[in-house]
Structure 1
């Protein structure tokens, strides 16, 4: 989860929640001491598994009034007894795993691992501590209790269902495996690993297995820098669209740039390198927040992107909003027909039987609590996926952004009464060469097109075949380099600015991970 879009958002809801959660200070003993409720009885050294473990039974210690006011969320699932194998680093994989650096985002604690075959793995806690998402000055206050309790809005085992669903629609994924970490495991005795001891954790390979194997896997900062630098490096837009529609269908709203890695293909015969999106961190799948008075206030009035998973798509624009940076740059070549074709194909790829198989990867006690409800909701959401897709498309089509690279490009803009066609090619390419970019924009969908030439000596050619005052409007930013605009006679609704777009809005602004 990104750090604080919380800073100005909790106000009234935070104050009310604080009254319920605390007398004003952070609770020192918030988390369960051990996933095993009977942890006072030593676990035999030869034990291969544990039974009756809980992901976080502290979330279920409240009564009916509290749940009605704050929200029941997934509290029973956090307290449900589950079985899990004991994690043994020496034997969990052939050759074992060697511990590395401690890491983690703003919620999870993770431990990087190296296998003998060179592959990288990570162990991360199932339970979270969002104290790192809280400003230092507030870390001793009630706000920490509010954020910690809100982890109960997430389903601790949702990530186990994702591989089956992602496989079906061709989206890369991790393969998390649930384990119990012994409190006395010698590999977890340093102070930095205290949060692992006696808790449930996931083990997964850091890079999703891909065939063919990629040339490299990089983060979003490096991926978009590569796209901005050279037109030969392009995002695989159809693959990203499948991933984003899967996000929306599963209710995974937390898809900011830090939640993605990118696989670089090996150069093709034409020299092009495709960047394929690799989703990470499925913590917000099946998120449930608004089933209490305060949860409803937070999700509907303050943090509208914290969207509750339900049979109908609640607040589609908020659901998809965290991925706007990625979507705006990674889906700008696809038209409405391509969006809808992808949604219809996914409907066929996600039958009821597959949904049932995915949900049965939940631990049995968790499935008993949530399985039937989740199955019904996923089926309804699948049937309504084209409607979500259309909302998503219209949001992006309203004001698209198109850009060149640090190289020199030629932009050819043809304005007709019923459309505006934008084509991009390298300046050095023949007029008959396949374009790097081509898309027709319709005035009923698009109000304004922002085009950024970025660096290089670029040429923008505008050809008008419509009456003056055509739509959509055009804003063209030349950026660095000696750019040339060819627009015989000038055209209404077109504005050319030789400078770059403002740093805050620039197409090549680095992503915030």
Structure 2
């Protein structure tokens, strides 16, 4: 997906920082920021142009344009510039032979991050994604041709160009569904691309399976009956209590995100395999787009300032420590609230320990060996050491993520008629149970602790839903119920009277 930066929207709390940034960036920008070609050897590039089939592999640099001098690096950081500039030898993609022959189905990403969906002769769908990203620049007109525009384009250097290659074997060990990317180069003026020749030619790509519809229901996904995107999954979940998320499977995938420092896990970064049994539909997550794994941003003076908790906290960098688990959860907050609300601290702890056992030293060492040789020699041992350190501390990070999620919990109802039962077990514990009225099936249950949770929000109730409150306590967890324009809030948590044991949601008053 395109990376968007709006650099001129700087927090007023930074004082003189915007003026310093503009002052340091007021020179002219590069006339051509990106390299003319990623192929290193001009003679090889010329041969590819003239006799495309005569060369099977090429040596390229994914992003030589991210190389910078000492002063720039001191201000903005070294990041992953060495990996972007490293010479990497990759095969030239032959569309007519790979995967039984690849044909383009559609193009996504425009001129920013190009993502071509391709269909193989084997019936599987594949994604051809550019390794280099081209951020969309949103700057005032007077700044578009200044050095500031180069700074925006340079933000891609914080991404690791080959992260996907390392993540795949880690996901395999964790038993989290994943694609198996390979590096390929599409030659200049590749005729088999047809009308897309100019757009797709002369680029370095990741070619991987694309799990976006029924054609991808193979292997470990063979028992599913469909694959859908997050928006469709949430719509089905809202419309019927017979559609539910496998929250433990999603929690495991999110712990893998923590391990690799993937800070960009918004709704668009997931597909969902759908399973059916006895009329109940379960959605299990398929993570995709690992562009932000091993993200490094804060190595320079200015980037360090920009990534503080009081500025842009979400730009948290990967290291051997979990510097800020809450920052890693910012972009996933909307989905996490709806897909992790039933997971307990004991379940998080159990999943973390399972991953610690599954992702052994051997798994990590083999995973980093998937890096191109030149990159492994520069980063392999360091990356393995950091991953082992994070693996060893994963249970602690899981607890921190749980604490973030437990503070304010969202319980989502559905369009089906349901009964919500809130029981004050004592001043510390509050039990919430949701039952489907048609067959009394429990669709949600959890016991909350006042030491962890400030408020429970219950959303999306149908017209004939009902609330049952039990138990009398002096003080307990706040909870609220919202349905369209009707809202009920238990703000004071004073004693709950017996006459309010069962109330229709419609017409409730505070």
TM-score, length basis structure 2: 0.88
C-alpha distance in 1 between matches for 2:487 and 2:32: 63
C-alpha distance in 2 between matches for 1:250 and 1:13: 31
1:307 to 316, 334, 341: 316
8 Å CA contact 1:178–1:201 kept in 2: the answer is: yes
C-alpha distance in 1 between matches for 2:26 and 2:73: 15
User: How far does the alpha carbon of each residue in 1:269-317 deviate from its partner, in whole angstroms, 9 at most, with x for none?
Assistant: 2x11111111111001111111111221121153211110001112211
In structure 2, list runs of 5 or more residues that go unmatched: 491-495
User: How far does the alpha carbon of each residue in 1:439-481 deviate from its partner, in whole angstroms, 9 at most, with x for none?
Assistant: 00011111111112423410110011x433x311111224479
> CA shift at 1:437, angstroms?
0.8
1:32 matches 2:32 = no
2:162 to 152, 157, 166: 157
8 Å CA contact 2:460–2:484 kept in 1: the answer is: yes
What is aligned with 2:493?
none
C-alpha distance in 1 between matches for 2:459 and 2:407: 17
1:292 matches 2:293 = no
What is aligned with 2:246?
236
C-alpha distance in 2 between matches for 1:182 and 1:19: 41
1:185 matches 2:195 = no
Any idea what SS the aligned residue of 1:321 has? coil
> CA shift at 1:16, angstroms?
4.8
C-alpha distance in 2 between matches for 1:477 and 1:164: 43
User: How far does the alpha carbon of each residue in 1:246-273 deviate from its partner, in whole angstroms, 9 at most, with x for none?
Assistant: 01110100011111111111x202x111
Relative to structure 1, the CA distance from residue 438 to residue 55 in structure 2 (aligned partners, 3 Å threshold; closer, same or farther) is same
1:145 matches 2:154 = no
User: How far does the alpha carbon of each residue in 1:340-392 deviate from its partner, in whole angstroms, 9 at most, with x for none?
Assistant: 11111111111111000000000000101111111111111111111111111
C-alpha distance in 2 between matches for 1:384 and 1:423: 33
8 Å CA contact 1:402–1:450 kept in 2: the answer is: yes
What is aligned with 1:116?
121
Any idea what SS the aligned residue of 1:436 has? strand
1:197 to 191, 197, 201: 201
C-alpha distance in 1 between matches for 2:150 and 2:504: 52
What is aligned with 2:452?
445
8 Å CA contact 2:466–2:503 kept in 1: the answer is: no
8 Å CA contact 2:349–2:399 kept in 1: the answer is: yes
1:100 to 85, 99, 105: 105
C-alpha distance in 1 between matches for 2:349 and 2:387: 19
Any idea what SS the aligned residue of 2:227 has? strand
What is aligned with 1:357?
366
Any idea what SS the aligned residue of 2:408 has? coil
1:10-409 matches, cutoff 5 A? 16=20, 20=24, 23-25=27-29, 27-40=30-43, 41-43=46-48, 44-60=51-67, 62-94=68-100, 96-104=101-109, 107-131=112-136, 134=138, 142-188=147-193, 190=195, 194=198, 196-207=200-211, 210-265=220-275, 267-269=276-278, 271-300=279-308, 301-409=310-418
Q: Report the RMSD for the aligned CA atoms in angstroms.
A: 2.9
C-alpha distance in 2 between matches for 1:284 and 1:316: 15
Any idea what SS the aligned residue of 1:161 has? helix
C-alpha distance in 2 between matches for 1:238 and 1:106: 38
What is aligned with 1:506?
none
C-alpha distance in 2 between matches for 1:51 and 1:64: 30
What is aligned with 1:424?
434
1:491-510 matches, cutoff 5 A? 498=506
Relative to structure 1, the CA distance from residue 88 to residue 21 in structure 2 (aligned partners, 3 Å threshold; closer, same or farther) is farther
C-alpha distance in 2 between matches for 1:101 and 1:221: 20
What is aligned with 1:455?
462
C-alpha distance in 2 between matches for 1:13 and 1:89: 50
Any idea what SS the aligned residue of 2:341 has? coil
C-alpha distance in 2 between matches for 1:357 and 1:205: 21
Number of residues of Structure 1 aligned to a counterpart in Structure 2: 485
Any idea what SS the aligned residue of 2:105 has? strand
C-alpha distance in 2 between matches for 1:109 and 1:136: 25
TM-score, length basis structure 1: 0.87
C-alpha distance in 2 between matches for 1:16 and 1:42: 47
Any idea what SS the aligned residue of 1:93 has? helix
8 Å CA contact 1:336–1:393 kept in 2: the answer is: yes
C-alpha distance in 2 between matches for 1:306 and 1:244: 18
